[in-house]
C-alpha cells in the first residue's frame, strides 16, 4: 500500500513540476505584454475550465503535463486575430522571448534548488566529494571494508542449477553452499584499516590494492596496514576465485586471488548543514547534478541496446534511462522502505534533467525556439553590417520535417523506457 501511495505522490510531484513549468511561461509572457489565451494542466478532454481576463484556465483528463498557449509564437501562426497582431510573441525583442521560453526550465532549476536546500538542512545531502564510480575509487586511499561472508563462485558452480537458482537470493552464510569467512576477516583486519603493502608490493591507493591482491598467488600473504596511527601486519590466506576484470564487470571471468574486502572511507556519506550553510551546499549539489545530467544525456544513444535487451529478457542495467513510470516506481519504493530522502533525491535530479533537456536547441523543445530567435537576431545583424536586405524570419514550415523527426524519436524513446519500466523495472532495494 505504501508503495502505491508513494508512487502516486511522486507522479503528482512530477505533474506539479510540469504545471509550474508552464506557469513560468505564462507569468513572464503576461509580464512582457504577450497575450496568453490558455493555461491548462493535463491533456485530452477538458474536465473543467474558467476564464479570467483574456486567459482560460482549466484541468484536462490526462494528467501527463500541461500547456500554455501564447499568441503568435511563430510568424507562421495563422490563428492570430488582427487586433492581437501587435502582441504576437514573435514581434517582441529576442531577449524577452528568450526569458519567456527559458522560464519553464528556470522553474525546474528553482524547484531543484529548493528541494536540495530543504534536504541539506533537514536530512542532509549526499557527499559529492566521495568517489561515484569504481574507477574513481581506485584513486582514493586504500581504506578497507571487511566483508562478513564470501560466496566462492567456483564452489557455487559445483552445485546443480536448481540449487544455484534457489540460493541466489538467500543471505550469504559462511559454511553454507560453499561460502566462507572472508580471508581478510579471518586474519583480523578491520573496517577503515589502511593497507600499505601486499606481500612485497607497496600500496598507495585502492586501485593498487585490488591489483596487488589479484596478482598475488593464492595462499598466505602478509598485509601491512595502519590502524590508529600504528603500522601492523597480518597474514591473509588469499583464496582463488572467478572474477570479471575490474575495468569490465561484464567481461570474461578468470581465476584471481581474493581477500573478501572492499573500499571504505572515513568521510560521511551524507552531510547535514545549517539553514544558512544549506544555501551554498544546495548550489554545489545542483551544479554537480547539472554536470552529471549532461553526461547522462550524452550516453543515452549507447544505452538504447541495453534498454531493448532488458525488455527481451536480459537483466536491467540500473544505469539505463527511466521514464516517468520508472521514476514514480522508484519514488514509491523509497517511501515503502522508509527512506524519503531518496524520494527527494530523485525529484531533484529529475527536475534538473528536465530543465536541461528542454533547453536543447531542437524543435519543438523550448531550446529550439530560443536557438531560432537568436539565429534570426545574429543573421539580421550580419546582413545589416554587410548592407544587405534583412532576410526576415525563419520559415518554421521548412523545419517541420526535422521537428517531426525529433517528435518521432522522442516518442519512440519514451515508449521504450516506459515499456522497460513496466516489464523489467529498476529497483533501489533488492
Catalytic positions, written as ranges: 22
Look up residue 268 and give its three cell numbers.
Answer: 560521511
Look up residue 247 and give its three cell numbers.
Answer: 575495468
Strands (E), 34-177: 36-52, 55-70, 125-126, 144-146
Residues 418, 319: Cα–Cα separation, whole Å: 15
CB 157 within 8 A of CB 178: no
Q: Which residues contact 3 (CB under 8 A, 6 or more apart)?
A: 332, 333, 335, 336
Residue 172 is classified by DSSP as P
How do strand 270-271 and strand 125-126 relate by DSSP bridges?
A: antiparallel
Residues 393, 377: Cα–Cα separation, whole Å: 9
Using CA of residue 110, residue 116, residue 118, residue 120, what is the dihedral sign? negative
**End-to-end distance of the chain based on CA atoms, in angstroms?**
18
Query: What are the Cα distances from residue 27, in Å, to 46, 49, 214, 367, 414?
Result: 22, 18, 61, 18, 29
Residues facing residue 198 across a β-bridge: 201, 223
Q: Which residues contact 55 (CB under 8 A, 6 or more apart)?
A: 26, 30, 36, 37, 38, 39
Amino acid at each position: 500500500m505504501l508503495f502505491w501511495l508513494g508512487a502516486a505522490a511522486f507522479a503528482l510531484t512530477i505533474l506539479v513540476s510540469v504545471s509550474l513549468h508552464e506557469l513560468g511561461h505564462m507569468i513572464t509572457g503576461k509580464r512582457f505584454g504577450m497575450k496568453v489565451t490558455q493555461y491548462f494542466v493535463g491533456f485530452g478532454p477538458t474536465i473543467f475550465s474558467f476564464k479570467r481576463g483574456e486567459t482560460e484556465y482549466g484541468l484536462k483528463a490526462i494528467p501527463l503535463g500541461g500547456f500554455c498557449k501564447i499568441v503568435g509564437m511563430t510568424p507562421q501562426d495563422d490563428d492570430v486575430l488582427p487586433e492581437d497582431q501587435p502582441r504576437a510573441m514573435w514581434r517582441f525583442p529576442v531577449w524577452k522571448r528568450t526569458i519567456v521560453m527559458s522560464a519553464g526550465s528556470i522553474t525546474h532549476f528553482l524547484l531543484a534548488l529548493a528541494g536540495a536546500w530543504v534536504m541539506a538542512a533537514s536530512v542532509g545531502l549526499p557527499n559529492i566529494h566521495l568517489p561515484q564510480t569504481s574507477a574513481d575509487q581506485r584513486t582514493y586511499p586504500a581504506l578497507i571494508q571487511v566483508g562478513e561472508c564470501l560466496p566462492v563462485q567456483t564452489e557455487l558452480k559445483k552445485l546443480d542449477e536448481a540449487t544455484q537458482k534457489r540460493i541466489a537470493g538467500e543471505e550469504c552464510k559462511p559454511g553454507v553452499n560453499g561460502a566462507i569467512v572472508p580471508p581478510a576477516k579471518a586474519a583480523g583486519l578491520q573496517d577503515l584499516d589502511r593497507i600499505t603493502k601486499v606481500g612485497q608490493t607497496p600500496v598507495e591507493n585502492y586501485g593498487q590494492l585490488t591489483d596487488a591482491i589479484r596478482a598475488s598467488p593464492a595462499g598466505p600473504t602478509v598485509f601491512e596496514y595502519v590502524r590508529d596511527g600504528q603500522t601492523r601486519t597480518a597474514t591473509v590466506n588469499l583464496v582463488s576465485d572467478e572474477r570479471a576484470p575490474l575495468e569490465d564487470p561484464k567481461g570474461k571471468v578468470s581465476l584471481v586471488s581474493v581477500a573478501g574486502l572492499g573500499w571504505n572511507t572515513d568521510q560521511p556519506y551524507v552531510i547535514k548543514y545549517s539553514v544558512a550553510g544549506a544555501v551554498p551546499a544546495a548550489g554545489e549539489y545542483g551544479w554537480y547534478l547539472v554536470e552529471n545530467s549532461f553526461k547522462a544525456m550524452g550516453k543515452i544513444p549507447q544505452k538504447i541496446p541495453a534498454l531493448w535487451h532488458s525488455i527481451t529478457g536480459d537483466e536491467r542495467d540500473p544505469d539505463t534511462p527511466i521514464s516517468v513510470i520508472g521514476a514514480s516506481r522508484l519514488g514509491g519504493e523509497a517511501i515503502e522502505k522508509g527512506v524519503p530522502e531518496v524520494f527527494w533525491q530523485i525529484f531533484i535530479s529529475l527536475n534538473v534533467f528536465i530543465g536541461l533537456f528542454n533547453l536543447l536547441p531542437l524543435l519543438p523543445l523550448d531550446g529550439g525556439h530560443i536557438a531560432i530567435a537568436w539565429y534570426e537576431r545574429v543573421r539580421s545583424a550580419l546582413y545589416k553590417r554587410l548592407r544587405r536586405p534583412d532576410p526576415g524570419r525563419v520559415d518554421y514550415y521548412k523545419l517541420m520535417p526535422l521537428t517531426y523527426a525529433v517528435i518521432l524519436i522522442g516518442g519512440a524513446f519514451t515508449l521504450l523506457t516506459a515499456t522497460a519500466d513496466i516489464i523489467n523495472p529498476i529497483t533501489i532495494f533488492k
